[in-house]
Amino acid sequence: MIVPFDIDLPAGYRVDDVLQFHRRDTESVAEQVTQGLIRKGVMLDGVPVVLAAPLADRPGTIRCTADVDGAVTPALAERIGDALLNILGLRIDPAPFLDAVRNDALLGAVARGRPGLRIVQSATVFEALTWAIIGQQINLPFAIVLRRTFILQAGRRHGSGLWCYPEAADAARLAADELTGRKFSRAKAETLLRFATLVASGELDLTPGPGNPIERIARELLAVKGIGPWTVNYGLLRGYGYADCSLHGDVAIRTALQRLLGEAAKPDLARTEAILQQYQPHRTMAAAHLWASLAPEEDPPGT
């Protein structure tokens, strides 16, 4: 079943940033990205869904679609709409950060150079957090290889042939050996499956609300063996579009600060955290611009 969704793109929308984020894996099995079109497979409420977003370099309404291998309930339609906003980077308005730092000595010029830069998110919170677990303490190319393995082991194939990123229940059915036999470390595989099992069982609730604020979710994530502050903050950034994540433990953030400060060594964690605190409540956008500062204007990084 094909379901249409109309989404408004704002003025200054940076199409190439969004496309590059979703084409990080050149051998991707769950995303297909061409110039001006994203197709992404994801499991939502137990149903394989392929999201399609035709992008344009001008403001206005675009007609996105969801190809759903099953019935479309109101709850599923809401999740599809949320997932589309996430993958298009439409959760955080970049204007307040730009206004706040326009004349800032450290980030002012960087932010003015990319005024429309946005945080592109994973389709779901579970995808964001599993990607953070997969990517922690390893380089990006190897993390991408492991992510592909995880999708093929735990995901499901859509009727169109595109694989769909798994949900917690899909991943919880895996055994650690199914991952360690495919280049996952034992610790990473066990953390990934421990997290998936907690979410699938309902013991770890990732849905924010009046009784379950983001701060509580972050504390409960930190209590999971194998999940540390960087993983939590990265997950909050890519999963929830949380506006004030502190990525002081991120090596690329520290490298960017070293370059901007003109110093011989990266600032340590404590100093990096102190620097980023100056940009509250916009630390997520500060991180986005620091990542982008490491690449030429026409080729922003897809961290």
Contacts of 104 (CB under 8 A, 6+ apart): 111
Q: Tell me the per-residue pLDDT of 204-244, one tens digit each, with 9 for 90 and over.
A: 999 999 999 999 999 999 999 999 999 999 999 999 999 99
Domain assignment present for 164 = no
Length of the chain: 303
Q: How far is CA 253 from CA 175, 229, 263, 297, in A?
A: 34, 15, 14, 17
The domain that holds 68 is classified in CATH as 3.30.310.20
Q: Which amino acid is at 281?
A: P
Nearest to 280 by CA among 38, 5, 96, 60: 96
Domain assignment present for 120 = no
SS3 9: strand
Q: Tell me the per-residue pLDDT of 129-140, one tens digit each, with 9 for 90 and over.
A: 999 999 988 999
**Which residue bears the tokens 């497979």?**
41
Domain assignment present for 255 = no
Cα–Cα distance between 29 and 201 in angstroms, integer? 27
Task: Name the residue range of residue 25's domain.
Answer: 2-89
SS3 62: strand
Cα–Cα distance between 139 and 102 in angstroms, integer? 32
Note the pLDDT of residue 296: 62
Note the pLDDT of residue 302: 45
Give φ, ψ of 49 to 5 degrees: -135, 135
Note the pLDDT of residue 56: 81
Domain assignment present for 75 = yes
Nearest to 156 by CA among 170, 173, 146, 168: 170
Under a CB-based contact definition with an 8 Å cutoff, are residues 31 and 40 in contact? yes
Domain assignment present for 210 = no
Whole-structure pTM value: 0.92
Q: Total structural domains in the chain?
A: 1
Domain assignment present for 56 = yes
Regions of the chain short of the pLDDT cut 50: 298-302
**Which residue bears the tokens 């007609």?**
63
Domain assignment present for 300 = no
Domain assignment present for 28 = yes
Note the pLDDT of residue 157: 96
